[in-house]
A = this chain, B = another copy of it.
Amino acid sequence: MNIHSARSEPDVRRQYYEKIGRHSLSPLWESLHSLVPKTPTTLAVPVLFNYREVMRPYLLEAGELISAEEAERRVLILENPGLVGQASITNTLYAGLQMVLPGEVAPTHRHSQTAIRFVLEGGGAYTAVDGEKTFMTPGDLVTTPGGTWHDHGNDSDEPIIWLDGLDIPLVRALDAGFAEAGEEQTQSESRPAGDSEARFASNMAPVDWQPDRPSSPIFNYTYEKSRDALMTVAANSQIDACHGHKMRYINPATGGAITPTIGAFLQQLPAGFETRSYRSTDATVFSVVEGTGESRVGDTTLRWQEKDVFVVPSWKNVEHRADRDAVLFSFSDRPVHEVLGLWLEERGEK
């Protein structure tokens, strides 16, 4: 190769790239290693949303700024600073903080997107799914699976605030979303409150029942029950170096995750306990239920207290430390990774 040709080669290629570009063709060899990276290269960043000083006051302000009727849903979107403009807290998940004031309703609608709700404060408000209500207490995990009619209302005398988690970015990536408003603001009650709990949350099911959707038939995993289970396990078991004591909520019709797109977890960290480094391909949103502490995520340290929300992106190492006995709720897209054969985890060395 002489100097001349060495010089002109880039030009030849550039011209070729321009020419084929006009036909929507491009050379793989210029981008292979960014298209197929050595390890996950997420744009999402570790971030913490402070509840007491930031999220809560602003949400209350929204309560004055816009009526529930006008807002349809009075929700502040928690957006990952690495994913600006995408209404995403991780690559595949959306999170928002929703408030329903006494006397308000969030009207009936349904959509392909699956939602979970984790209650932060209040008591006495309800979510209705397919004609059945459940009353919501802090720490409860309520599911509104894709395709189900749902509405919310608050007949109590205090505001209710919860964290919403939805698979909006994932459904968008799949171009598979449908939505529909209900004919009525509020669904008429076809089954009494607590019916699902009795039917499905007691390790029994109606004799001829067959699941008609991939999500759990339980739509309220009450904190009372979940916390009891976690604390009993914590008292009885050897602690896991990476997780403390960690349980996953299950769909009793399959033993798998509560929904096909969002898995949910509850874990206990004793005061003073520091977890060993851990990472996995799913990206996780944490909500602090009890205690205070800090989590080191990649190179970022996030200090948390009750009701704060924080994010561990895909394949970022995380180490938690609890100052006081802590309980963390979390949700992630792990079920999607698992069912597609893409889930991977790595437990740090001692």
Residues of A within 8 A of B (CB): 12-13, 16, 19-20, 23-29, 31-33, 35-42, 44, 47, 49, 54-55, 58, 61-62, 65-66, 70-81, 87, 91-92, 94, 96-97, 111-113, 146-147, 168-171, 173-180, 191-192, 194-195, 197-199, 201-207, 211, 213-215, 218, 221, 225-226, 228-230, 232-233, 236-237, 243, 246-255, 260-261, 265-267, 281, 283, 313-315, 333, 336-337, 339-344
Known contacts: A54-B23, A72-B32. The answer to whether A337 contacts B174 by CB under 8 A is yes
- Are the C-beta atoms of A28 and B75 separated by less than 8 Å? yes
> Which of A170, A177, A232 has the most chain B CB within a 10 Å cutoff?
A177
- The answer to whether B341 and A215 have CB atoms under 8 Å apart is yes
Complex contact A29–B73 (CB within 8 A): yes
- B204 near A249: Cβ-Cβ < 8 Å: yes
CB contacts (< 8 Å) of A179 on chain B: these are 33, 36-38
CB distance from A184 to the nearest CB of B (A): 19
Is the beta-carbon distance between B207 and A333 smaller than 8 angstroms? no
Q: Tell whether, in the assembled complex, residue B27 and residue A62 are in contact, meaning their CB atoms are under 8 Å apart.
A: yes
Q: Quote the shortest CB–CB distance from A199 to chain B (angstroms).
A: 6
Q: Lowest 7 A-B CB distances belong to which pairs?
A: A175-B314, A198-B232, A202-B229, A28-B75, A253-B255, A29-B71, A176-B342
User: Which residue of chain B lies nearest to A181 when distances are taken between CB atoms in the complex?
Assistant: B38
- Contact of A204 with B178 at beta-carbon distance under 8 Å, contacts A29-B70, A255-B254 already known: no
Contact (A214, B340) CB under 8 Å given A16-B61, A176-B314, A236-B191: yes
Please state the number of chain copies in the assembly.
4
Neighbouring B residues of A247 by C-beta, 8 Å: 199, 204-207
Q: How far is the CB of A100 from chain B (nearest CB, A)?
A: 13
> Is the pair A38, B180 in contact by a Cβ cutoff of 8 Å?
yes
> A222 → chain B, closest Cβ, in Å?
9
Q: Distance in Å from the Cβ of A148 to the closest Cβ of chain B?
A: 11
Complex Cα spacing A113 to B123, Å: 46
Partner of A36, one of B26, B49, B71, B168: B168
Q: How far is the CA of A265 from the CA of B232 in the complex (A)?
A: 28
Measured in the bound complex, the distance between the Cα atoms of B141 and A202 in whole Å is 13
B78 and A24 form a contact (CB under 8 A): yes
* Assembled-state Cα–Cα distance A278/B283 (Å): 36
